[in-house]
Amino acid sequence: MNLDSLSFDLLQPRPILVVISGTSGVGKDAVIKCLKSRNLALHFVITATSRPPRADEVHGRDYFFYPPAEFEERIKNGEFIEHAMVYDEHKGIPRSQVEEALKSGKDVVAKVDIQGAATLRRLYPQAVVIFLVPRTVEEWLNRLKRRNTETEEKLKTRIETAKFEVSQIEIFDYIVVNAEGEIDKAADDIIDIINAEHHRVEHRRPLE
């Protein structure tokens, strides 16, 4: 019996790009923070933004905070996989954050808005794209109001934007509920999705 051409090593799963998205105020940052606390072998993409940092945010940890002029220069230099204006502020995913991590063999977790999720879906067809939702509309509105960063006009804009974003559900593979007080459950669900995806045939190397 000749086993020379048989190698189960070729069936090891490839690293996955996991895209976590959802409407503003759904708790994306909190879920990412919870995932980080699990000390898993994941690379978390740090998004760049042109907005100033909030009181508890640190450059290079929570976001890369670039002034608008510098952000636009980085766009010209092709430093972002995708970028967009979101609520009058630039946001983008640094190319190196994704490509270098995938080459290292790590799963990559990227947090983006709905527009960014659509772009990554197109650029990385095998990405696992997750839509984070609140349990109820009331929970979502209360989260937005608790941030104390929303004027009445901004709140109306976010509500109208959310209506459109929910209509884009077809670009996603999974929905995960981030219910009030149950953030660990949301993180567990995402980890379960990643584990399940690693057992799918399309995320494994084909036999040669």
Kindly give the interhelix angle for 152-166 and 137-146, rounded to the nearest 10 degrees: 140
Give domain limits for the chain.
Answer: 9-45+106-203
- 208 — pLDDT class (breaks 50, 70, 90): very low
Averaged pLDDT, 84-111: 89
The pLDDT score that the predictor gives to residue 150 is 63
Q: Cβ distance 51 to 89 under 8 Å?
A: yes
- Predicted confidence at residue 149, as pLDDT, reads 63
What is the average pLDDT value for the chain, to the nearest integer?
A: 86
Q: How confident is the model at residue 205 (pLDDT cuts 50, 70, 90)?
A: low
Query: Given a cut of 80, is residue 62 above it in pLDDT?
Result: yes
Pairing state of beta strands 17-22 and 128-133? parallel
**Confidence (pLDDT) at 18:** 97
Strand order in the sheet with 128-133: 42-44, 107-111, 17-22, 128-133, 174-177
pTM over 0.85: no
Burial profile 115-132: b = 16 or more Cβ within 10 angstroms, e = fewer: bbbbbbbeebeebbbbbb
pLDDT per position as a tens digit, 160-184: 777 777 778 889 999 999 988 899 9
CATH superfamily ID and name for 9-45+106-203: P-loop containing nucleotide triphosphate hydrolases (3.40.50.300)
Cα pseudo-dihedral 198, 22, 48, 53, rounded to 10? -130
8-state DSSP, 4: T
The percent of residues above 90 in pLDDT, for the chain, comes to 49
The band of 72, judged by pLDDT with boundaries at 50, 70 and 90, is very high
